[in-house]
């Protein structure tokens, strides 16, 4: 796993030495281990849901807060409620991200139309996020919420590492 991570691979597949590939079947003879990256991000908003659908996260580059992605995965109902309770008093009227709206429509983008449904927050809350990689456009791919970070302020959060 260390070598896969160092080489920037998505992961590895472990196979029983005597196993054969069986199309369309999951036998347990082959197991995929994914290498996830992770870092902290600042919450700059969310999309409404019960109590929210996705967090809108980013990082600082100098004085500018840059959008990195929407995070929907990694929540159980209780954690979702706990995170949402931290939004009280942080609501603002304008988008805090310097690079939004995006013109190019991709599954990770946040366009002007989509932004109309967002609730913006003062960028103070920090979360730990796992993801598989950065897209060429600078978005998180397959992101997952891990937890809130109490040990770091929003202005301290910068992008860690770059894709090779």
Q: Is residue 2 part of a domain?
A: yes
Q: Is residue 123 part of a domain?
A: yes
Joined tokens for residue 79: 């954690």
Q: Residues in the chain, how many?
A: 164
Query: Do 100 and 122 fall into the same domain?
Result: yes
Half-sphere exposure of 54 (CA within 13 A, CB side): 18
Question: What is the rounded distance in angstroms from the CA atom of residue 30 to the CA atom of residue 119?
Answer: 43
Query: Do 107 and 149 fall into the same domain?
Result: yes
> How many structural domains comprise the chain?
2
Q: What is the CATH number of the domain that holds 54?
A: 2.40.50.140
Query: Do 41 and 30 fall into the same domain?
Result: no
pTM equals 0.82
- pLDDT tens digits along 13-35: 888 888 888 888 878 788 877 77
Question: What is the rounded distance in angstroms from the CA atom of residue 160 to the CA atom of residue 104?
Answer: 24
Write down the pLDDT at residue 30.
85
Query: Do 40 and 115 fall into the same domain?
Result: yes
Q: What is the DSSP string of 114-132?
A: HHTT-EEE-TT-EEEEEES
Write down the pLDDT at residue 164.
39
Domain that holds residue 97: 36-156
Low-confidence ranges of the chain (pLDDT < 70): 162-164
Write down the pLDDT at residue 109.
87
Query: Do 62 and 84 fall into the same domain?
Result: yes
Query: Do 140 and 120 fall into the same domain?
Result: yes
| Phi (first) and psi of residue 92, to 5 degrees | -135, 165
Query: Do 43 and 10 fall into the same domain?
Result: no
Q: Which helix (H) or strand (E) holds 6?
A: helix 2-6
Which of 38, 36, 65, 68 has its CA nearest to residue 55?
Answer: 68
Query: Do 108 and 43 fall into the same domain?
Result: yes
């Amino acid at each position: 796993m260390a070598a896969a991570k160092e080489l920037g691979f998505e992961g590895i597949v472990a196979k029983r030495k005597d196993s054969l590939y069986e199309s369309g079947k999951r036998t347990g003879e082959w197991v995929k281990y994914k290498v996830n990256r992770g870092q902290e991000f600042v919450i700059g908003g969310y999309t409404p849901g019960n109590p929210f659908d996705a967090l809108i996260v980013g990082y600082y580059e100098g004085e500018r807060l840059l959008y990195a992605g929407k995070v929907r995965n990694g929540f159980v109902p209780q954690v979702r409620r706990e995170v949402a309770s931290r939004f009280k008093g942080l609501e603002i009227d304008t988008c805090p991200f310097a690079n939004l709206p995006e013109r190019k429509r991709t599954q990770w983008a946040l366009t002007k139309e989509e932004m109309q449904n967002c609730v913006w927050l003062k960028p103070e809350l920090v979360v730990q996020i796992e993801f598989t990689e950065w897209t060429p456009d600078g978005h998180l791919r397959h992101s997952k919420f891990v937890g809130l970070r109490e040990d770091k302020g929003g202005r301290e959060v910068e992008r860690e590492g770059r894709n090779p």
